[in-house]
Structure 1
């Protein structure tokens, strides 16, 4: 049997006010007899008792569960001559989405009496929802109970049910269905039906039977009532911890605790609100100006100021900060905590706080970045933060530009609003600041442009960034060189689009990799494509370089599932700049990690600690494509295969010095040790996962670095990953755990960790600005992203405790991690093969002290299925082994 589809809409989706039309009052009333008028003379002053069409007005009010939902709304005054016809639309101060299921409409008609008193002419009560839960629509006929005011109680004494003959009621229902487009209109037949209806209406009109006609809106779909459903208590919820006395209960007496949702749980205590208003009244301002804390209170204030930026303040802490706000203006660190203590919804308190901001000591950049986060929506606060950023140079702004672009999401930028001139309204102070800096500095402008272009493709906030991009372009063309710079941006976009299309076509091609490389080089060399030679153009990845073409002969394609392109761009000075261009992959997470590494490198350099980091450049040019700098290097896994399983042999080959320790130049070994220390600390703080010897690279001069940041913030595809990514091969490259270089490595780790802990506030604020960014590992748990990074810093520890903690971390990591060579040796012993058998095999299962033989078999079987039978037969009796030993 064919199923019929039924379209409807929930009432919670109808975010518009309730409205209806009061049409007319029909029917006749008996005139009061003279005997009744003589007995009660005041009745003769009521208009309806002396005039059949006296001036009446109607009031409409909503009730639910015998309680009023709105105030009464009345119709405007209208004089009547022949019939009482209002034909007036009324809007009630409540939305359809907020209506309860039991909502009823109480309609009362009022008449004028002596001394302009209002007496009820009659009333009726009508439920807004039908018995099946659908919202009433179209024309409604209400029986008026004369002399009564409509009541909205659950058991109303003024029901709306009309007293009409069966035939008349049937015809009126058909007319109502025709108004709702459920019955087609036929002109000549409808005219006959209406004439018959008029005759029936005159014939069935009874004395003292009055009917009021209302009209409700007709929507495209039936409106079905729907309300918020509270989460149910299921067995999947964790069982509560039993209390001590529950252990003595019998099974019959055992009871489970039930969690009940309290709708008012998040509401403020009215007593506390009243207390806060009284204590923070503007009348206390003159007294607070001269208040100074005692020694104990100063210590309490200092503890509050030292709290991390992600820490929530208690009510007492907020009150303390407000009380001594004038005293704290001399401490720049206290501003962000003071702003958190302000109740910005209170206009008086917000005004006092805004007036105090200019008097505060100039804050640091990290605090300014915090004030631009999602927690601060006050315009005065955000404008104050932008004023602080204006003091920073372009180089510093470029460090935080990625986060500043994301901070535009938290600005109050109207997207659809228009001003009187038809132009878009002025953007926020942050947008104006970024546009102004980007217009003045070409390098900053190119980065700003590409950051905006990527975000423009976001469905939720794309229009906002498109508006800022339009503002940037409009401001740019007003400069003398504006049109030229705009042309440069268009040419960059064309180059990126051509490379993306080329890469995509090569990926979709069924040819082998050699054939694809041949097609790539032929395409680049073809003059009609204009890729081998073009006018000087700033490279989007590194705008400080001016490129004039791509070298076709050296172009290649990497052995990877995404088949990234390896291109050498020719610079105008004759040099080349190697770049990797990828499609089918979102590089925004890699871009963020590399930006944080570059920032941490700068913070360490400020403390005269150069750890020889290699923050290669990454630029996401779109949600599915981007470019990154290619650094000539070799994966650790490849180095182990080519140099007999030793990183030290690789170092000795590229940096020989017979007189030096281990035969390696001291400069190269120093670079290697420092870079290992730097990346161990940074990858630990960022929670970088999925580490294996193929994404740990080493350059010929000794620079060690990580690539491929697809897993961060503690995420890892492998079970039970170690906290620090330090493998045994890295330690062997330093000469072993007993060498002097390894001791230096640990010392550099301690210094870097304690140095970055001092700048934790800045790093946490940068991550806070990225909570709404399209970063995969942040989108999983955006509310916990900052907390995950904060926990890595161990801010609750002293410096000595932090060093001891990190030393334990290093020792545990060295003892836990396994390299690919260990697995190969073990497989060789099982299969009876030598190490040479695995020269072209890369088997890296996990960095763990213990690993299942089954996991080893799965990783091996995918590469050599012919040997899987032998491996299976020899692993049947084995379970879990320690491969490190």
Structure 2
């Protein structure tokens, strides 16, 4: 199928054109009885000849107002049929048309005498009004048949009396008097054929000349029969009605005769044509900038701007906002919504008074010694259990504020207390800031929450940074990616000339710690450089300037240390290395050679002395892993992968004589993969704290720009390759690499233990992160039994394949454990339950890390940034008890093993890979 496409009306700077075609219909001259009473009718041109001269005027209207002056057709002398075949151009472009635009088209007759609606010597022969946009807001195109209303000039009102389309007739009422008769089946069939005939004219139905001629003759005959039948029915009904009127009221009938003659049997249709386009033209209006917010907005100091809902209009009962009211009057004017800039922004005086009455502003002994009773204590405990995504109700905020001094002993209560403060109230804000130092020490997850986008008070953010100062460098490295993103929520002026970031406690903290630690300095530098390099529309210019300023201050402070100049030179050398590799990768990627020739070209580039990649003197800390110093590379072992982006595999030579294989590729944003690996590393640390080592092996990923990066290569084999090589048996692969005849299943105990634990760990983690697009090619297995996932292009529940399971646990993985009835499989499930319940206890930390990434340019987060944290929270099932969560996860394992969808997905994927090969 061809991809569906369309154009926007706002992009068409062409004038509105309409082609006036012909007038169809038969005119019956007035009888002598009428001419005797109305001698002026004998001078009207159409009453003298059926081919008299007529002309047409067209005017554009919208919202019951004319938008243009009328344009009219040139003079035409008719002999047989009234046909103009003339294009009229209106003085307005399509891009400026409102949605309610409609054309008022009037056919004018000639009369030397004055008449109803006359303009000089012209009187209306008939009029019609047609909308330029249909019900789907698409511009009308092609031929249109417009019903002509006799003796009426077209009006362009919103509730026009001269519509081009005949309204659907209603059924006759029970009394047989009020409603029109329902359309007959013949009329319905004729209407359907007319629509098909129009599609044929538009080229949407293939043309077959001999068959088309038969259909056209049949259609014309059918139309004549239907019209004759309708005329006879109309005559009979009118004659009966007039007979009744003559018997009842002869004067009323005579009055009707004396009025302007109107033959109801006449049905005229005006044929017009609109321009035809290759694609549908969909209406799009100009998007105006939002109206200015009231200057009376109170100063914000804690992120309460986003806590109030945006302004909205509440509609009354029976009103749907489309212009219809209780009486269902179709002609009722549309409702006009008025924007009030004070709604949701300016402080509500009722709420302000309520707060002053309910919340005590006292600072005396009574307020400090206030303690909750048992019932209130239970309510406070339930509030303390709220997660970071739950909003506090107004009553809950009042309760937390009232017992704020009592809650200073509870470290969980600080984030709830900060959310409860009305920061626009200066007195209340001052009391809250004075209370912060008295609070007991909070956990790191709460500190990270206070650095999120909903908290902008400098004192609160500084308090959170003080808590982070107690973390060691290894722990801080786990959160560094999110802390760099949290700089977007700091009050750092990106326009300052001196480039100082002293007004940001977080920026100063990161710079100070990064200058003292090589690892932190290395990754802070690259995280900042990637954000500065991102010039996509999703990255705001002010954020790029902010990150550039932090990078400048980091370099400036680094130069003040004794090792600063040497470290700065190292970072510059790393940048040169990445630049050279990026250039080589792009040249190989875009070269029109087969893969073997690309590999030869890569080896030639690496060995070229001009690229200076053979030897690094002095040794260079690897950007991907600064603990590893590289002194050169092995050009002869380089390789180009079979992929659309042709990633490069380069074996680097370390200072201790070992090889460090690295994959480098361009054309792909690795920041999402980098985020997933960072979360996996964090979860591994959390599990190890609980003495649960699941043998996770998160390889290293570093994005070096917005479309390039490096990945640590781990020697392994995909489950698809292992199954193909060992005849569908993962167990055979493990036996071949780790044989032990004395051990169960013939595999070394340590290897099987590593395999089972790593399978459990990655099953739980990839489920929590909602990793999608899982197939046997991105499930990898190392020879020592380490199982791990690769390629995290889909997370948070997104998956390109339908019916994908929530957790990837295929039959090949279970078969490697000895089957679903083996003890290893039972151990696997036990590890899954323990890991899941352990990570649920640290859910707040993980959720807060994702909350700090809502403004990051991560593909699967920026799709719905407001729902990213909720998608992760759903998979923790925090509303369940631990026993319920374990039962639910056990059910999930059973569904994943017995699901047919993964088998179909893997089969289709293998077929596609075979076709690509």
CA contact (8 A) 1:280 1:349 kept: no
Deviation for aligned residue 1:764 = 0.2
Distance 1:568 1:653, change over 3 A: same
Give 1:386's aligned residue.
Answer: 465
Distance 1:745 1:863, change over 3 A: same
Picking from 407, 425, 429, the partner of 1:346 is: 425
Residue pairs, 1:197-276, within 5 angstroms: 266=344, 269-276=348-355
Give 2:674's aligned residue.
Answer: 591
The unaligned stretches of length 5 or more in structure 1 are 7-222, 241-248, 824-842, 847-855, 865-885
CA contact (8 A) 1:233 1:259 kept: no
Give 2:764's aligned residue.
Answer: 681
Picking from 548, 554, 558, the partner of 1:476 is: 558
Deviation for aligned residue 1:765 = 0.3
Deviation for aligned residue 1:373 = 0.4
CA contact (8 A) 2:805 2:902 kept: no
Picking from 704, 713, 720, the partner of 1:630 is: 713
Distance 1:804 1:623, change over 3 A: same
Rounded to whole Å, the distance in 2 between the matches of 1:363 and 1:650 is: 49
SS at match of 2:634: strand
Deviation for aligned residue 1:423 = 5.7
CA contact (8 A) 1:325 1:338 kept: yes
Matched, 1:526 2:608: yes
CA contact (8 A) 1:373 1:768 kept: yes
Distance 1:635 1:250, change over 3 A: farther
Residue pairs, 1:867-882, within 5 angstroms: none
Distance 1:680 1:224, change over 3 A: closer
Rounded to whole Å, the distance in 2 between the matches of 1:531 and 1:618 is: 21
Give 1:109's aligned residue.
Answer: none
Rounded to whole Å, the distance in 2 between the matches of 1:792 and 1:707 is: 21
Picking from 500, 505, 520, the partner of 1:444 is: 520
- Deviation readout 1:168-200 (Å, 9 max, x if unpaired): xxxxxxxxxxxxxxxxxxxxxxxxxxxxxxxxx
Q: Give TM-score, length-normalised by structure 1.
A: 0.64
Matched, 1:453 2:529: yes
Rounded to whole Å, the distance in 1 between the matches of 2:579 and 2:453 is: 34
Rounded to whole Å, the distance in 1 between the matches of 2:12 and 2:689 is: 71
Picking from 901, 904, 908, the partner of 1:845 is: 908
Rounded to whole Å, the distance in 2 between the matches of 1:309 and 1:457 is: 32
Rounded to whole Å, the distance in 2 between the matches of 1:521 and 1:323 is: 71
Residue pairs, 1:376-415, within 5 angstroms: 376-415=455-494
Rounded to whole Å, the distance in 2 between the matches of 1:491 and 1:532 is: 14
- Deviation readout 1:528-578 (Å, 9 max, x if unpaired): 321011110100000011111111111111111111011111111111111
Rounded to whole Å, the distance in 2 between the matches of 1:657 and 1:448 is: 46
Residue pairs, 1:185-196, within 5 angstroms: none
Give 1:721's aligned residue.
Answer: 804
Give 2:221's aligned residue.
Answer: none
Matched, 1:499 2:581: yes
SS at match of 1:282: coil
CA contact (8 A) 1:617 1:628 kept: yes
Q: Give TM-score, length-normalised by structure 2.
A: 0.62
- Deviation readout 1:613-647 (Å, 9 max, x if unpaired): 11100000000000011011000000000001111
Give 2:385's aligned residue.
Answer: 306
SS at match of 1:417: coil
Distance 1:863 1:355, change over 3 A: closer
CA contact (8 A) 2:699 2:712 kept: yes
Rounded to whole Å, the distance in 1 between the matches of 2:287 and 2:654 is: 66
Rounded to whole Å, the distance in 1 between the matches of 2:410 and 2:522 is: 37
Picking from 559, 567, 572, the partner of 2:655 is: 572
Picking from 590, 594, 609, the partner of 2:692 is: 609
Deviation for aligned residue 1:277 = 2.4
Deviation for aligned residue 1:782 = 0.3
Residue pairs, 1:99-248, within 5 angstroms: none
SS at match of 2:683: helix
CA RMSD of aligned residues (A): 3.0
Rounded to whole Å, the distance in 2 between the matches of 1:565 and 1:669 is: 32
Residue pairs, 1:360-371, within 5 angstroms: 360-371=439-450
Q: How many equivalent pairs are there?
A: 599
Rounded to whole Å, the distance in 1 between the matches of 2:673 and 2:815 is: 29
Give 2:866's aligned residue.
Answer: 783
Give 1:28's aligned residue.
Answer: none
Deviation for aligned residue 1:251 = 11
Deviation for aligned residue 1:861 = 8.9
Give 1:209's aligned residue.
Answer: none
- Deviation readout 1:354-409 (Å, 9 max, x if unpaired): 00000000111111111000010000000000101111111111010000000000
Picking from 698, 706, 725, the partner of 2:789 is: 706
Picking from 550, 559, 582, the partner of 2:665 is: 582
CA contact (8 A) 2:360 2:402 kept: no
